[in-house]
Structure 1
């Protein structure tokens, strides 16, 4: 190798010098990845989700900016200080209840629908518990319809998860039978 390949370049890094990595799309994405930790698409999706959440908050709370800010900050604090430890505790309890590693394969099939159901409950809690009346005139749905629909969605999530687990076990058994040669008598 030449000595030039190991000399520090304009960025202070060792490696080939030249225009690669300094300009153009690859140079920009490389710098963004070093600064942000992910690529530009992930950043764009994250910013779009924040914009959508902000728009929904503004529309939901009818322009009360202080209440909107308090709601977003409160939601972040409640999630980080209350729900993340609760997730971790529930996950540990589930792992301890299952015990052996062979039986742990199905834990994901409980985690995912439970998480999605909990997320729906968190987002729609006031409507599911019937604490907000103002949406009945806008939607035409009675207050108790949200609880019934949340329970139905939760049941469907667990049913789909159970079906996925059954299909996974069947596939594993089929592949195990194909790999295992039949005993010759």
Structure 2
């Protein structure tokens, strides 16, 4: 299976570089440079600020923000407004993608908040149980 994956990757690479190889190479190098010099420091600063603000509950913000960001990255062209050819090509109107993305984002954050509330309730219940056992002795 791994060999088939490498074969398919090689075929795609040959097909990709068959056209404008210099343009593709420039795009890949540019993407790597922009990622390393611009995006990594932004990620790091945002994560440090989030850890300072959220403390031990940082993952209850980090995970839904990551999922929302991935959805935004994948569906960005349709979220900001589908191209004019989208409707005729698919037979669908694309006006609702932005609202749906916001609803999904709200839902993911709500699920994360629910998980945090359940965790806090369990922790409080355990603390009450351990205090009652300690006082009954």
TM-score after normalising by structure 1 = 0.53
- Match of residue 105 from structure 2: 154
Inter-CA distance 144–80: structure 2 relative to 1 (3 Å threshold)? farther
Relative contact order higher in (CA < 8 Å, ≥ 6 apart): 2
- Match of residue 109 from structure 1: 60
Structure-2 separation of matches of 1:123 and 1:77: 21
Alignment gaps of 5+ in structure 2 = none
Alignment gaps of 5+ in structure 1 = 1-43, 59-63, 99-103
Structure-2 separation of matches of 1:146 and 1:112: 22
Q: 1:131 Cα shift?
A: 5.1
Contact 1:133 1:143 in 2 (8 A): no
CA RMSD of aligned residues (A): 3.4
Instruction: For 1:95-106, list aligned pairs within 5 A.
Output: 95-98=51-54, 104-106=55-57
Structure-2 separation of matches of 1:65 and 1:146: 33
Indicate which of 31, 36, 43 corresponds to 1:87.
43
Query: Which is richer in helix?
Result: 2
- Match of residue 167 from structure 1: 118
Are 2:88 and 1:124 aligned? no
Inter-CA distance 131–139: structure 2 relative to 1 (3 Å threshold)? closer
1:7-43 Cα shifts (integer Å, max 9, x gaps) = xxxxxxxxxxxxxxxxxxxxxxxxxxxxxxxxxxxxx
